[in-house]
Amino acid sequence: MNAGLKVFAPASVANVACGFDVLGFAIEKPGDEIIVRFSDKPGLKITAITGAKGKLPFEVEKNTAGYAAQRLLEHLGETERGIEMEIHKKMPFGSGLGSSAASAVAGVMAVNELLKRPLEKRELLHFAVLGEQLADGAYHADNVAPSLIGGMILIRNNEDLDVHRLPLPQGIYASVVYPHVKILTKDARAVLSDQVSLSKCIQQSGNLAGLVVGLYNGDLDLISRSLQDVIIEPQRAKLIPHFYKVKEAAMNAGAMGCSISGAGPSIFALSANSLIAENVGAAMEKVFHDAKIPNELFVSPINQEGAIKC
């Protein structure tokens, strides 16, 4: 059997404080790996899954990576092509770091690479989003797009996948702490009110616009002032133990901003350089350590590559 072709897709941070469902960025690690190879037996088959503790199905149509890859194969008219897929989960489930998105991204990119790149990377986005939709029921790209193409991504419209990479001032680092507590995405959605006051809407719009301007102009002070979520974070903070203590610790250590990663429970902070980010991460981690809550810390530059062939 040949060694196959391997693709890595990174974790991602969605929402980025003021950009609920419209902003996301990728980090260097963790992430998922998928290996694909040609097979004599027709059709796509998932032959191995590691790191999932039995939580992922082998049926292609029920697996985010398999489903996304199968939709791509249908689009390309290659459904009879024999392909074997191995899924190696290298990141936690339910962490708020885009686990299902990383699998879907790695699945479509691996198959596309195996077939000698019939589509450009950005053209794979729709199929990866379909895989993510299988997992959470929503067609949105705030995790998938950063994981696929890297960088800080603005999604102007999810339905049309009108996505845009935003510039990043040199040196910005993310500190992401994942406390080992369970928050289901559906529960994190359930706590959200569908009513937003006009004053909060105006404030949040100003923050999002300010963040975009700050990124374009390299204005770290404006970025810091804008990394505030006045709508979603106050509603979800109660789901994450010691959230405000962690946020306070991050800000006191020099972070530009700190908020919930995706639906949580992970918490992210952005800092002006790697040294501050290390200190910020240690401060965030200490809060959970003192509370005897197991956690993992990831300190990373913003990943500019997204998914890569290994």
The CATH number that applies at residue 240 is 3.30.70.890
Counting the structural domains of the chain, the total is 2
Among 33, 84, 86, 132, the active-site one is: 132
Concatenating the DSSP letter of every residue in 149-210 gives H-SEEEEEETTTTEEEEEP--TT-EEEEEEES----HHHHHHT--S---HHHHHHHHHHHHH
pLDDT of residue 293: 97
Could you read off the pLDDT tens digit of each residue along the chain, which spans 310 residues?
567 899 999 999 999 999 999 999 999 999 999 999 999 999 999 999 999 888 899 999 999 999 999 999 999 999 999 999 999 999 888 899 999 999 999 999 999 999 999 999 999 999 999 999 998 888 999 999 999 999 999 999 999 999 999 999 999 999 999 999 988 767 788 899 999 999 999 999 999 999 999 999 999 999 999 999 999 999 999 999 999 999 999 999 999 999 999 999 999 999 999 999 999 999 999 999 999 999 999 999 999 999 999 9
CA distances from 284 to 234, 244, 253, 290, 296 (A): 19, 10, 9, 10, 10
pLDDT of residue 93: 85
H/E element, 269? strand 267-271
Clarify whether residues 149 and 191 are in a common domain: no
Angle, vertex CA 11, rays to CA 6 and CA 13, nearest 5: 155
pLDDT of residue 223: 98
- State CA 272 to chain mean position distance: 21
| Distance, CA of 261 to CA of 233 (rounded, Å) | 10
Clarify whether residues 102 and 185 are in a common domain: no
pLDDT of residue 221: 98
Clarify whether residues 88 and 162 are in a common domain: yes
Clarify whether residues 126 and 17 are in a common domain: yes
pLDDT of residue 169: 95
Which residues constitute the domain of residue 210?
173-301
Active site residue 132: yes
CA nearest neighbour of 19 among 229, 195, 236, 271: 229
CATH of the domain at 151: 3.30.230.10
Clarify whether residues 150 and 218 are in a common domain: no
Clarify whether residues 203 and 145 are in a common domain: no
Among 185, 248, 278, 296, the active-site one is: 185
| Distance, CA of 292 to CA of 145 (rounded, Å) | 35
Placement of tokens 């005897």 in the chain: 292
Clarify whether residues 15 and 160 are in a common domain: yes
Clarify whether residues 271 and 234 are in a common domain: yes
Clarify whether residues 76 and 220 are in a common domain: no
Longest Cα–Cα distance of the chain, Å, equals: 62
| Distance, CA of 55 to CA of 51 (rounded, Å) | 9
Clarify whether residues 111 and 198 are in a common domain: no
Q: For residue range 86-144, what is the model confidence (pLDDT) as tens digits? A: 999 998 888 999 999 999 999 999 999 999 999 999 999 999 999 999 988 889 999 99
Lookup: tokens for 76 = 């390309």
Clarify whether residues 86 and 179 are in a common domain: no
Clarify whether residues 274 and 238 are in a common domain: yes
Q: What is the pTM of this model?
A: 0.95
